[in-house]
Amino acid sequence: MMWGRAMTDQSKTVTRVDLCEAVYQKVGLSRTESSAFVELVLKEITDCLEKGETVKLSSFGSFMVRKKGQRIGRNPKTGTEVPISPRRVMVFKPSAILKQRINSQHRTNGDATKAQPEA
């Protein structure tokens, strides 16, 4: 796992195990404590979202729950109208800082700290 460095394989998926290992390596907690810490953070985020609260992490982004009303959809194969029941969906909105960091990896001039606004 490459934390803090540009990844050459863009298809890498970071798992809970990877997050626990990163906490273990960087914070110095035991593996058991690192795993418990990651699980506690994820549980707190999940509990807040379940209650409909917004979770805002500075310099990272916000997780929000939105309500979607009932609507009519179509089966693409048959064209038959199908009711889609009301539900809640989770939305993630990245912060401007995170967007800038993600987009700065694609720059070739090496100066990733000064992002130019997109036209």
**What are the domain boundaries of the chain?**
15-51, 52-106
Considering the four listed CATH numbers 3.30.565.10, 1.10.1040.10, 1.10.10.10, 4.10.520.10, the one that applies to the domain covering 52-106 is 4.10.520.10
Confidence of residue 1 (pLDDT cuts 50, 70, 90): very low
Lookup: tokens for 115: 């992002």
Q: Residue 5 phi/psi, 5° resolution?
A: -125, 155
Whether the Cβ atoms of residue 24 and residue 16 lie closer than 8 Å to each other: no
- In the chain, DSSP assigns E strands to 55-57, 61-68, 71-74, 81-84, 87-94
Average pLDDT, the chain: 86
88-109: average pLDDT: 87
**pLDDT score of 111 more than 60:** no
DSSP-assigned letter for residue 116: P
Whether the Cβ atoms of residue 6 and residue 27 lie closer than 8 Å to each other: no
**pLDDT score of 98 more than 60:** yes
What integer pLDDT is reported at residue 112 of this predicted model?
44
